[in-house]
Amino acid sequence: MAQAQLDEFCVNNYSNCLRLVEQKLAEQPKSKIEFYKLKMYQLDSLYYLGKYQQLDIEMGKLINASRLPKVVELKIHIYSAKLKIGQKDDPERKAHLAKAQLIFQALLKTGDDPNTLIDYANLHIYLGQYTEGIRLLKQLERKFSDHKNANIIAKVAINLGNLYLLTGDLVKAQTQYLVAMEHSRKAGLINVNIIANYNYGRTFQKLEQNSKAIAIF
């Protein structure tokens, strides 16, 4: 399977993605770039499939690697913080968040791996820091406004929409969900499109415009 096909596959089916990625890892990737790309997909799949113990083990294997790419390090700190999300005063959680913030600021300047930058901004939903999450996503929205990959624009928009929905700014949420639906269709992001469409309908429910909500659902 070519890299482009794997990329498309791994945003829509985490179970099959994990199976394919672990198969490719067992075949020993030829380059470090390919290895870390596969490891990033592996971590994502383990997280979204709820395999948290295995995720913790795989992150532990990576974190002490020499010359670990910053984008991989950022993803590890994001997921490590999420695994401790109910432990507000845990010193390890605080350390992961502090390190993630520093790496995010460094990577924001270069624009390396937009998906992981989006993941960091999205972390603030779990932290209950909605205003900060919106601020960070607006930064990413500006930075990647002309990005050629519709996947990036869709993911920024759906996360902004979710934050606006949480803060009750429903008109802004609707605008972002429409952007997310348009670009997720272009990128073939089935899951993002379904969630954006559903949450778009929820905004009309909250506005008590039930006929519009029913038409969308």
Of 17-26, 52-61, 69-78, 146-155, which range is least confident? 146-155
Burial of 77 (0-12, 13-18, 19+ CB in 10 A): buried
Residue 160: name the closest of 187, 139, 143, 189 by CA.
139
Q: What is the mean pLDDT of the chain?
A: 88
Give yes or no for residue 5 having a pLDDT over 70: no
| C-alpha gyration radius of the chain | 18
Note the pLDDT of residue 217. 66
Q: What's the fold here for domain 147-217? A: 1.25.40
For residue 165, give every residue at least 6 positions away whose Cβ sits within 8 Å of its Cβ, in sequence order, or none.
173, 199, 202, 203, 206
Using CA atoms in the order 142, 145, 150, 155, what is the torsion angle rounded to 10 degrees? 20
User: Pick the residue with more confidence: 124 or 207?
Assistant: 124
**Closest to 75 (Cα-Cα) out of 46, 110, 109, 51:** 46
Residue 99 makes CB contacts below 8 A (sequence gap 6+) with 73, 77
**pLDDT tens digits along 122-145:** 999 888 899 999 999 999 999 888
56: tokens are 């913790």
